[in-house]
Amino acid sequence: MKLFALGDLHLGFRANREALPAWRARPDDWLILAGDVGETFAHVELGLRAATERFARVFWVPGNHELWSHRADGPRGVAKYEAIIALCRRIGVVTPEDPYVIWPGESPCVIAPVFVLYDYSFRPAPVAAGDAVAWAEADGILSADERFLAPDPYPTREAWCQARVEETEPRLAEAAAQYPLVLVNHFPLRQDLVRIPRIPRFSLWCGTRRTETWHTRFRAVVVVAGHLHVRTTDWIDGVRFEEVSLGYPRHWRRERGIDGYLREILPGPAAGTQTGGPVFHR
Ligand SMILES: [Fe+2]
Ligand SMILES: [Fe+2]
């Protein structure tokens, strides 16, 4: 029995949807979907169902893309998030709003899916918070989240992020008192993990410094994230950080199939076997 993870299925792309039927089933194993399954309810449901049909247990955290509101009459912000939570409950997928699940392996862990968004704090010190988006725009970088990711009813995405951090930390502390954690968040927990040299100022939309020490504070054995579309394995303070993205069609090779991009989280890969070749956003 293994725990795998995969992020950023991005089923808004036809090439990614077309790869689903050949995705191999692993009925004894569990799967973490690390966000950015798609933007619409139909594509999110397609991805969640594809996963639950193939794995014994499925976990999901929201990416920024799930939280987009394209339609003027559709749910926005927290309401969109809660609508996807309701969908997960119908399908039987574990979300950040459910009790954490214990991994029943030889070394038990708590699998903690969390959702904390970003707050523009991944920026150089001289750039003031209020100038951050303009600083990125000056380099031609502006996340589509600025148009599509509404924070309602919070006034800003930063405020939503802060509220999520504050409600998540006590839960993680309680869980970590029981077992070590597998911490799952769509966004990387630390700024030093954001290596996107072609678009460095996109870091604003990649996380929050509030989670910088979570891996040690909450006794993580593995931290799982997606979002960057740069598959890597890093070790920091003895903790394994896995970036598990599939990504846009240009970020992965069709002939390898979706199964070829699953990353083993537990019990864990043999040393040195899982450092994926970095792929970068263009
Ligand atoms: Fe993504
Ligand atoms: Fe993302």
User: Which residues lie near ion ligand 1 (Cβ < 5 Å)?
Assistant: 8, 36
Q: Which residues contact 213 (CB under 8 A, 6 or more apart)?
A: none
Please choose, from the candidates 109, 114, 57, the residue with its C-alpha nearest in 3D space to the C-alpha of residue 221: 109
Q: What is residue 66's predicted lDDT score, i.e. its pLDDT? A: 98
Query: Per-residue pLDDT for 280 more than 80?
Result: no
Ligand nearest to the backbone CA of 205: 2
Q: How far is the CA of 196 from the centre of ligand 1 (A)?
A: 13
Q: What is residue 73's predicted lDDT score, i.e. its pLDDT? A: 85
Q: What is residue 274's predicted lDDT score, i.e. its pLDDT? A: 58
* 3-state SS class at 55: strand
Q: How far apart are CA 281 and CA 195, in angstroms?
A: 10
Query: Per-residue pLDDT for 233 more than 80?
Result: yes
Q: Which residues contact 55 (CB under 8 A, 6 or more apart)?
A: 4, 25, 26, 27, 29, 30, 31
b/e sequence 37-55, b meaning 16+ C-beta within 10 Å: bbbbeebbbbbbebbbebb
Q: What is residue 281's predicted lDDT score, i.e. its pLDDT? A: 31
Q: What is residue 70's predicted lDDT score, i.e. its pLDDT? A: 83
Q: What is residue 185's predicted lDDT score, i.e. its pLDDT? A: 98
Q: What is the tens place of the pLDDT at every residue in 8-39? A: 999 999 999 999 999 999 999 999 999 999 99
Average pLDDT over residues 251-257: 97
Query: Per-residue pLDDT for 154 more than 60?
Result: yes
Taking the complete model, does pTM exceed 0.75, yes or no? Answer: yes
Please choose, from the candidates 149, 156, 17, the residue with its C-alpha nearest in 3D space to the C-alpha of residue 74: 149
**Residue 276 pLDDT class (50, 70, 90 cuts):** low
Question: What domains, with CATH codes, occur in the chain?
Answer: 3-266 (3.60.21.10)
Q: How far apart are CA 246 and CA 73, in angstroms?
A: 31
Q: How far is the CA of 177 from the centre of ligand 1 (A)?
A: 32
Q: What is residue 275's predicted lDDT score, i.e. its pLDDT? A: 54
Q: How far is the CA of 107 from the centre of ligand 2 (A)?
A: 31
Q: How far apart are CA 247 and CA 7, in angstroms?
A: 8
Q: How far is the CA of 125 from the centre of ligand 2 (A)?
A: 24
Q: What is residue 278's predicted lDDT score, i.e. its pLDDT? A: 42
Q: How far apart are CA 75 and CA 72, in angstroms?
A: 8
Average pLDDT over residues 246-273: 91
Q: Would you state the structure tokens that stand for residue 60, as one six-digit string?
A: 């999901």
Cβ atoms of 228 and 206 within 8 Å: the answer is: yes
More confident residue, 110 or 268: 110
Average pLDDT over residues 186-210: 97
Q: How far is the CA of 12 from the centre of ligand 2 (A)?
A: 13
Choose the weakest-confidence range: 36-50, 163-177, 257-271. Answer: 257-271
Query: Per-residue pLDDT for 263 more than 80?
Result: yes
Q: What is the tens place of the pLDDT at every residue in 91-115? A: 999 999 999 999 998 899 999 999 9
Q: How far apart are CA 265 and CA 275, in angstroms?
A: 13
Average pLDDT over residues 35-60: 98
Average pLDDT, the chain: 95
Percent of the chain with pLDDT over 70: 95
Q: How far is the CA of 282 from the centre of ligand 1 (A)?
A: 13
Average pLDDT over residues 49-73: 95
Please choose, from the candidates 92, 270, 115, the residue with its C-alpha nearest in 3D space to the C-alpha of residue 185: 115
Q: Are strands 239-243 and 232-236 parallel, antiparallel or unpaired?
A: antiparallel
Q: Which helix (H) or strand (E) holds 6?
A: strand 3-6
Choose the weakest-confidence range: 243-247, 254-258, 270-274. Answer: 270-274
**Residue 279 pLDDT class (50, 70, 90 cuts):** very low
Average pLDDT over residues 151-156: 98
